[in-house]
Structure 1
Amino acid sequence: MELFPPMPLTEWQDTKETLHRFTQVVGKIRLAASVRRNHWWNVPFHLTGRGLTTRPMGQVDGNPVFTIDFDFVDHRLVVTTADGRTASFPLVGRSVASFHRRTLEALAALDIRVELANPRPYRLPDTDRPFAEDVEHAAYDPVWANRAWQVLNQVGLVLEEFAARFSGKVSPVHLFWHSFDLAHTRFSGQHLDQPAQVDPVTREAYSRELVSFGFWFGDAALGEAAFYSYTAPEPAHLADDPLEPATARWTELGDGHLAVLRYEAARAEPDPRAAVLAFYESAYRAGAGRAGWDVDRLACPGGITDPRWPAPPR
């Protein structure tokens, strides 16, 4: 497959909306059955050679160790326990209500018991409707689902390459199911005291100064796929700094700004991969520079911190 193939949101929006809710069902299982990590890093999915995985969970809650995987090659949801037992079912032709029911049945078949505190979509327009009642979202085109996974893998490798350039605290490259975006975040280590009225999800996510980078397939606000970056808290005059390539722009986001490089604009560049890396680097230098980070000290050229590399021959 070509690097960054076409992903027009209008062509697969129905599939995306259904798949987004599928991932939220499984994501809430992961939230309930995993050990909490800083910045909610226990919650997102990771990419695999066939789709997305929750990674192993259970054990501390009395359940067997188990993993839930989205297979976007054979288009199935697969639940696997550490002792080798498996339950799975097809993703095609299934509503959110059906997916929710079959997922719980698959868990029960493997003696896994997980209680979801709030089995409804998170920060979606139908947040008041239980998953068990959603028969509206039932579109799943396997061609588009597979292509979306291919794109996520391609972007994931670019983000991994970008992540290697920084020696400080960083997040994994992971997919957050609440917003269905692939993300990677760098931290300065500076502690932030959030106002008391800030919700607990946001308080934990932004408890340290950061610059975040990612990709998402588009939504109602931005009706196309795009690469993005933001700095939190946003330093003064951030949007005055230039971005690369020339097609990248600062856009308003609430009271702040989001650096955006449209997916189609990246595809049109002579070297799309280099263009995305340049975009992330320019957004990082703008945010970290304005916030006063020691950019040179935190640099990690070639992913190497060992000053004696390459090692002398033995």
Structure 2
Amino acid sequence: MPLAEWRDTKETIHRFAQVVGKIRLAASPRRNHWWNVPFHLTGRGITTRPMGQVDGTRIFTIDFDFVDHQLVVTTVEGRTVAFSLLGQSVASFHRLTLEALVALGVDVEIAHPRPFDLPDAARPFAEDVEHAAYDPVWANRYWQVLSQVALVLEEFAAGFSGKVSAVHHFWHTFDLACTRFSGKHVDQPPQVDRVAREAYSREVISFGFWFGDAGSDKPAFYSYTAPEPADLTHEPLTPAAAEWIPRAGSHLAVLPYDDVRGQADPKGTVLAFYESAYLAGARRAGWDIDALACPHGITDPCLTATRP
């Protein structure tokens, strides 16, 4: 997924996702660490999951179909409105999405109908005719890569018995992530914004994948520990291509996607990378690694990893 070859499509899809993500934010009950707002993977794209029943809103779901390249809005009664993603600007996508909700009798209001934490954050979705690139080949490949990485993250998540998030596709940062928690409370400085305050109210080690951004144009697997313990970057990472890089005042463990694709065992390489990053953060932060272990997704010592 070389970023330079699909950057225009990525920037458009990212803003499409923010339109729908803000609807999800408005129509779902609040969950710790904003777990109510990300997308999840489906067999054809990404989904909001069912939402509604907030202030009497009917139950509905919004799905991106990256096989037939449609946005599909469906109510619990089975009524559906869909439109093509091809040829849409952010402005027309925003308008058609709201029209679909009205046609289905869904009453949702986006509190701030503009991008969040993007360079054009001051421009309303309804006025963005600049972002209109949509290459269906790259859109489909984006979903395929997400699907592959999500399954690797699911397998990695199985090795931890403590509090752990689902595998989330965040429309804010446009990454795929899964997070482990120690349970330790973190006192955030007063100047920290409310999004970050909730996201990092507990000590975490997070693992994920992003497609590249303004800071780095290479898609990569990553991990970080927050708050970052002292001397974290002294810990070794696996494989040799992985490294610690500075980012936003802390450090990321990073393994380039292209280096993984060239390995004889790509999945095993990513799992080993995530495990090395986890052990680095857990050791430095003083987590009880043995007590939190969950080999093969099993917590009962009388069971084995064999299938029934």
- Which residue does 2:250 correspond to in 1? 256
- Which residue does 1:61 correspond to in 2? 55
| C-alpha distance in structure 1 between counterparts of 2:234 and 2:54, whole Å | 49
The Cα offsets for residues 112-159 of structure 1, whole Å up to 9 and x where unpaired, read as 111111101011100000000000000000111001100000000000
* 1:51 matches 2:48: no
How far the C-alpha of 1:310 sits from its partner, in A, is 4.2
| C-alpha distance in structure 2 between counterparts of 1:265 and 1:228, whole Å | 13
| C-alpha distance in structure 2 between counterparts of 1:222 and 1:306, whole Å | 42
Pick from 197, 208, 215: which aligns with 1:203? 197
* 1:144 matches 2:138: yes
Q: What percentage of residue pairs aligned between the two structures are identical? A: 74
| C-alpha distance in structure 1 between counterparts of 2:150 and 2:6, whole Å | 21
- Which residue does 2:216 correspond to in 1? 222
- Which residue does 1:285 correspond to in 2? 279
SS of structure 2 residue aligned to 1:52: strand
Amino acid at match of 1:24: Q
- Which residue does 1:165 correspond to in 2? 159
- Which residue does 1:297 correspond to in 2? 291
| C-alpha distance in structure 1 between counterparts of 2:202 and 2:261, whole Å | 33
How far the C-alpha of 1:306 sits from its partner, in A, is 1.1
Amino acid at match of 2:236: P
Pick from 64, 69, 77: which aligns with 1:70? 64
RMSD: 0.9
Pick from 107, 127, 131: which aligns with 2:101? 107
How far the C-alpha of 1:256 sits from its partner, in A, is 1.0
SS of structure 2 residue aligned to 1:188: strand
| C-alpha distance in structure 1 between counterparts of 2:173 and 2:86, whole Å | 22
- Which residue does 1:3 correspond to in 2? none
SS of structure 1 residue aligned to 2:30: coil
- Which residue does 1:4 correspond to in 2? none
Amino acid at match of 1:259: A
- Asked whether the 8 Å contact 2:242–2:273 carries over to 1, the reply is yes
* 1:213 matches 2:207: yes
| C-alpha distance in structure 1 between counterparts of 2:127 and 2:259, whole Å | 39
| C-alpha distance in structure 1 between counterparts of 2:249 and 2:146, whole Å | 29
- Which residue does 2:268 correspond to in 1? 274
- Which residue does 2:174 correspond to in 1? 180
Unpaired runs of 5+ residues, structure 1, are 1-6
* 1:306 matches 2:300: yes
The Cα offsets for residues 159-199 of structure 1, whole Å up to 9 and x where unpaired, read as 00000000000000010001100000000000111112211
SS of structure 2 residue aligned to 1:114: coil
* 1:155 matches 2:149: yes
| C-alpha distance in structure 2 between counterparts of 1:232 and 1:310, whole Å | 33
SS of structure 2 residue aligned to 1:259: strand
Instruction: With the length of structure 1 as denominator, give the TM-score of the two structures.
Output: 0.96
| C-alpha distance in structure 2 between counterparts of 1:12 and 1:200, whole Å | 32
| C-alpha distance in structure 1 between counterparts of 2:206 and 2:55, whole Å | 32
Amino acid at match of 2:58: P
| C-alpha distance in structure 2 between counterparts of 1:272 and 1:286, whole Å | 21
Amino acid at match of 2:254: V
| C-alpha distance in structure 2 between counterparts of 1:201 and 1:61, whole Å | 23
- Asked whether the 8 Å contact 2:298–2:304 carries over to 1, the reply is no
Amino acid at match of 2:60: F
Pick from 82, 85, 93: which aligns with 1:88? 82
The Cα offsets for residues 78-137 of structure 1, whole Å up to 9 and x where unpaired, read as 000001000110001110000000000000000011111110101110000000000000
- Asked whether the 8 Å contact 2:59–2:76 carries over to 1, the reply is yes
How far the C-alpha of 1:60 sits from its partner, in A, is 2.5
The Cα offsets for residues 241-261 of structure 1, whole Å up to 9 and x where unpaired, read as 110000001000122110000
SS of structure 1 residue aligned to 2:176: strand
| C-alpha distance in structure 2 between counterparts of 1:145 and 1:236, whole Å | 40
